[in-house]
Amino acid sequence: MLRTAFALGTAAALLPLAAQAQVNTEILRKRIKDRGFTLVLEGTFDGHTGNTQGLSADGLVGGGFASGEHRVFAFGSADYTRLNGTLGVNKSFAHLRYDYALSPFVSWEAFAQAQSDQLQALQIRDLLGTGPRFGVYQDKRLGIFVGVACMLEHDTYDEPVGPGLAVSVQARFSSYVAVTAVLNDGIQVVTTTYVQPRMGLARDVRVESESGFVFKVSKALSTSVTLTTHFNGTPPPGVLSTDSELKNILTLTL
């Protein structure tokens, strides 16, 4: 099992990388039951004293409901890290999504999201979007899904983002490809890549790629490893265009 975990962690580091865009919802979607209510809880906390002083904490609360052709789920998350007086992470988001199944292979999605990230100089990003989701291939072990959407976005940064970019409301085209697979030993793999160019300004594109391995501990408890990479084609002054994050997560699903 240790060999398997090491191999999977190495593979995660080699999966496609990407950027700051809509927060990935595919891993949470897979945890929502096909019928009835679902509650999802995640969280970690580390406190340090002595040579290293400070704390790091993150948590997620989510839930959903599914009945017939209807599925709705929402979640909110916050991450914060400060060590030896230096802020490392301070970000949060909230997401709400509704799916209506038009057929076994096609559904229509509508979503809303709010997001902030102090180290990205992003005070708040609000967005609304809608579009179809297609089940390209589905069986008991493998699922391939493609989604497209149009969305309106409002961004507020700590500083002006430059001529031609300080637009209060932007229209973006959003597309994603999600692949879910169950390995022979029951480990689940989820990888999703979003591409979101701004309409009328192609160089202002955001990409996000997230790949994760989910290890089932029990019916309610699971642990996972996720690698997320962001790219922003037009970052604010002083902000790098690309960053990445590797996380170990403990999840309780009720």
Residue that has been written with the tokens 């973006």 in this structure? 172
CATH of 2-253, picked from 2.40.160.40, 3.30.1360.120, 2.10.10.90, 3.40.50.620, is: 2.40.160.40
Q: How are beta strands 86-101 and 188-198 bridged, if at all?
A: unpaired
Q: How many CA atoms lie within 13 A of 251 on its CB side?
A: 27
Distance, in Å, from the CA atom of 3 to the CA atom of 7, rounded to the nearest integer, reads: 6
Q: Where do the structural domains in the chain lie, given as residue ranges?
A: 2-253
DSSP annotation of 118: G
Per-residue pLDDT of the chain (254 residues; tens, 9 = 90+): 434 433 434 333 333 333 344 456 777 787 788 889 999 888 887 788 888 888 888 888 999 999 999 999 999 989 899 988 888 888 998 999 999 999 999 999 999 999 998 887 788 889 999 999 999 999 988 999 999 999 999 888 776 555 445 446 789 999 999 999 998 777 889 899 999 999 988 888 999 999 988 888 888 888 888 888 989 888 877 788 998 888 887 788 88
What value, to the nearest 5°, has the Cα angle with vertex 38 and ends 37 and 40? 155
* Contact of 95 with 82, CB cutoff 8 Å: no
Distance separating alpha carbons of residues 147 and 109, to the nearest angstrom: 9
Encoded tokens for 251: 């999840």
Q: How far from each other are the two terminal CA atoms of the chain, in whole angstroms?
A: 26
- The length of the chain, given as a count of residues: 254
pLDDT of residue 59: 86
d(CA 226, CA 12): 8
pLDDT score recorded for residue 19: 34
